Amino acid sequence: MSYGDLAEFAAQTVNHLNTMGIGREDRIAVILPNGPELAAAFVGIAAGASVAPLNPAFREDEFSAYFADLAVKTVVVEKRTSSAARTVARRRGIAVLEVETDPQRPAGWFRLFDERQRHDTAARGGTAESSDEALVLHTSGTTSRPKIVPLTQRNLLHSARNVQAVLQLRTDDIGLNIMPLFHIHGLVASLLASLSAGAAVVCAPAFDPLKFYRWFSEAKPTWFTGVPTMHQAILARAPHNQSVVAATRLRFIRSCSSALPSKIADDLEQLFQCPVIEAYGMTEAAHQIACNPLPPKRRKIGTVGVPAGPEVCVLDEWHRPAGLHQVGEIVIRGSNVFSGYANNREANANSFVEGWFRTGDLGFVDQDGYLTVTARSKEIIIRGGEKIAPREIDEILHAHPAIEQALAFALPHPTLGEDVAAVVVLKDGAQASEYEIRSFVGARLAKFKVPRCILFRSEIPKNATGKPQRISLAKTLGLL
């Protein structure tokens, strides 16, 4: 699909929605599989309404809760397919629009079919303005009830431009999107940043390490962005795809959304012979907060780089700027940062301090201005009064030659409050005992940081975006 095609498609989509009484800031739940149709749906619908992209894998109870929470006006689904979203929408009396594709038209193009054949006038029609809500997402669930994050056209535009600028994206770049497009990482860092640069983006289906190298060979991307678990899976399949790797033309690889172990970064750089750029972002910032720069500027593996868009500050416990290398809470402000959670006065009161948004992450800035994220404040393990950053333990576990993946987490303890546990996935054919792994960690970290419990699994449980949920891991693994 060309840029001209996309502009025409977006204008037609907005006009079509307006004739059905749907206009600016009306929320539309979009439930489509990953791929070009979902990408085009986001761009086209967000041009004149607010998009709430939801995971198609949700069950009826989840869709029912999200539809009610978001007060969606319409639901967009695939034509001629049964789904939990369609069932719930009809039950709740929410209008359903179907996506009908045409293989003769450009990639991503579709026609919206209204089963009710409505004809109405939108209260606020036309193309959205910069202050209008364009996207609404939920937080990833570090609390029992995810919070609603509304993002404006301005938030998204500035964040996309921030990503485009720090990655120096050009019109001849090709990005391979392997991130889910119901997640801020995929929507902004991969899709909108590419469009901001006038570059190309290839939208793959849901990430599949068995198909990645085929997509890679066909698309010939110059870059891609993903989460560490994706990078681990790509590395694991590399020995079977040496010819594809040898033909690579990657300028760089980007990693974001959770901490990237330095061992994985080193292995990726050695495999693809290009720099690995670690970034730091969150939904409330319309994704990007900080990022390592591309060469010839210095990148520091283990850090998330320098501020890349918003202002970033580290505050101590009295809300004063922390000194160099002093750990404190990371706070942000800027044109890409949202203005507050929807319908949640209590969360907003706790989330902002003197105009800064409190990320809930802990970190420090070094003498060169590079930011290191040490932990989520809610992920910190407090063992008998000692504060332990689980990421530090992750780094050591990943350095063990037999370990493919690892994640440290808190386990309740009757006298210490919390103790350290870890779940590990061993490499194919590798062997290691719990005693051996504990000894390996104990030789490198203080005794109180050594996991008292190590679980061996074939995979680490993850959420729909490929991120392990450290806070709920003990419950997920059946330890509570």
Q: Look at residue 56 and tell me whether its pLDDT is greater than 80.
A: yes
CA dist., res. 365 & res. 261, Å (int): 19
Nearest residue to 293 via CA among 305, 275, 311: 305
385: pLDDT confidence band, cut at 50, 70 and 90?
Answer: low
Q: Look at residue 275 and tell me whether its pLDDT is greater than 80.
A: yes
Q: Look at residue 115 and tell me whether its pLDDT is greater than 60.
A: yes
pLDDT in tens, 171-221: 999 999 999 999 899 999 999 999 999 999 999 998 899 999 999 999 999
Q: Which residues contact 454 (CB under 8 A, 6 or more apart)?
A: 421, 422, 423, 424, 434, 437, 438
Structural domain boundaries in the chain: 3-128, 154-376, 381-476
Q: Look at residue 381 and tell me whether its pLDDT is greater than 90.
A: no
What pLDDT is stored for residue 401 in this prediction? 94
Q: Look at residue 297 and tell me whether its pLDDT is greater than 50.
A: yes
Nearest residue to 451 via CA among 469, 468, 431, 437: 437
User: What is each CA distance from 345 to 330, 340, 342, 351, in whole angstroms?
Assistant: 21, 9, 8, 10
Q: What is the dihedral of CA 416, 390, 380, 462, to 10 degrees?
A: -110
CA dist., res. 61 & res. 397, Å (int): 38
> Domain 3-128 is in which class?
alpha beta
CA dist., res. 438 & res. 444, Å (int): 10
What pLDDT is stored for residue 156 in this prediction? 98
Mean per-residue pLDDT, 417-443? 93
Positive or negative, the CA dihedral 47, 52, 58, 59 is negative
Nearest residue to 42 via CA among 26, 63, 28: 28
pLDDT in tens, 157-170: 999 999 999 999 99
Upper half-sphere CA count for residue 329 (Cβ side, 13 Å): 17
464: pLDDT confidence band, cut at 50, 70 and 90?
Answer: low
Q: What is the Cα Rg of the chain in Å?
A: 23
Q: How far is CA 390 from the centre of its chain?
A: 20
Q: Under a CB-based contact definition with an 8 Å cutoff, are residues 410 and 381 in contact?
A: yes
Instruction: Using DSSP bridges, classify how beta strands 311-315 and 328-333 pair: parallel, antiparallel or unpaired.
Output: antiparallel
Domain pair 3-128 / 381-476, same fold: no
What pLDDT is stored for residue 140 in this prediction? 56
What pLDDT is stored for residue 215 in this prediction? 96
Q: What is the pTM of this model?
A: 0.83
What pLDDT is stored for residue 55 in this prediction? 87
pLDDT in tens, 307-347: 999 999 999 989 999 999 999 999 999 999 999 999 999 98
Amino acid residing at 371: L
CA dist., res. 197 & res. 305, Å (int): 22
Q: Which two tokens stand for residue 65?
A: 């809760």
Percent of the chain at pLDDT exceeding 90: 72
What pLDDT is stored for residue 143 in this prediction? 43
Superfamily of domain 381-476: ANL, C-terminal domain (3.30.300.30)
CATH T-level topology, domain 154-376: Rossmann fold (3.40.50)
What pLDDT is stored for residue 142 in this prediction? 42
Mean per-residue pLDDT, 396-418? 89
